[in-house]
Structure 1
């Protein structure tokens, strides 16, 4: 059962990262056609990536909680005698990615707000 939960967790996290990759690629290649200002597009993409990262990290945490070895198996996994599920190994990386994405999203929002303020525009006027 733990193996199934781990696999489902990895598949769900992979789907969220495919969404993130699609969003970044569409931002890069659609930028020339976009009518919105750069700072607004950047803030929107950063917010989407941060949201997807938070959901992926939350799902990975839940999957790792149920898939992590327990009892004597946890001791064996800690000293390297038993394998750890992949979702347990990936969890710190996913949490770090989500935290970094949140920081970048906040910076992009602050940048967009600063540009709007300097231009004397309101959010909907951009």
Structure 2
């Protein structure tokens, strides 16, 4: 299998953002001497690795916010919604507009779509493999 096209951003304080080549993302909040605390993703997928004990960090999409303390997870954004999958650690996911909140642990995923409840599920291996293959993993 060919290595998929992606861009890796190594940020201060142990944050690594591995984005699909076409992913639209930007840093919202950042102190120049510290790691970013908030990144916005508008399309495609980003694999996030956050070193523990570095303070709060969150990914904001048009549909959801995924907040962590230290973990490895993927946020995949489409026009219809946002999917979040946790490979390691723990991630809180809630709607951008407020409301429901769920906590994901390793192997869990959630799809955030307008008008649908947030349901945590252990994702099937096939879905996990398809997502992680987009990052050559």
> Do both proteins adopt the same fold according to a TM-score greater than 0.5, normalized to the shorter chain?
no
> TM-score normalised to the size of structure 2?
0.20
> TM-score normalised to the size of structure 1?
0.21
Higher relative contact order (CA 8 A, sep 6+): 1
- The structure that is helix-richer by fraction is 1
